[in-house]
Homo-oligomer: A and B are copies of this chain.
Amino acid sequence: MSVYDDETKFKKAEHDFINEALANVYDNILRIEEKELKKSSFSDITVKEVHLVHAISLHEPKSASQIAKKMHLSRGTLTVNLRNLERKGLIHRTKNSQDQRVTDITLTKRGRVLYRAHNAFHSKMVDRFLAGFNLDELKVVKHALVNLQDFLDELT
């Protein structure tokens, strides 16, 4: 049994491990986000709604169409979603003064609090993801994610 074979076998095991890990991670994140919400002052908010709030973001007002595009939702679906976000006090809807067709969407104070809480969670997660790495190692991790994005972009 050569060193090459050992290395090959090792790589195969790592490959399987990483495959499994990638497949599991996202479901777990969603479940934990759901759980954390339930415990918080946002127990009336679903994970999907948090992701909508994330897409709206703190920055300039966005039109419904922009958000729909970003979230890959039909305009009809977004209308329903935005109505719910408004009902739950997360967003404001105002007519755009330049273009009367468009509705400007902005976060309310409550929406901004939720946005920041969600960001903090993700930030903590990335901290842990990268815990203990030096700059070179960090570049390796980044490179892997770039690889993945490239692969996905090719298939889009």
Given contacts A15-B126, A21-B149, A130-B147, contact A140 B142 (CB under 8 A): no
Q: Please tell me if A117 contacts chain B, counting CB pairs below 8 Å.
A: no
28 residue pairs A–B, Cβ–Cβ below 8 Å: A10-B135, A14-B138, A14-B139, A14-B142, A15-B127, A18-B130, A18-B145, A19-B123, A21-B145, A23-B54, A23-B122, A24-B149, A25-B148, A28-B156, A32-B155, A32-B156, A35-B155, A35-B156, A36-B155, A125-B148, A128-B147, A128-B148, A130-B144, A131-B147, A132-B143, A140-B140, A140-B141, A141-B144
Report the Cα distance A150→B155, complex, angstroms: 31
Q: A126 contacts B22, CB within 8 Å?
A: yes
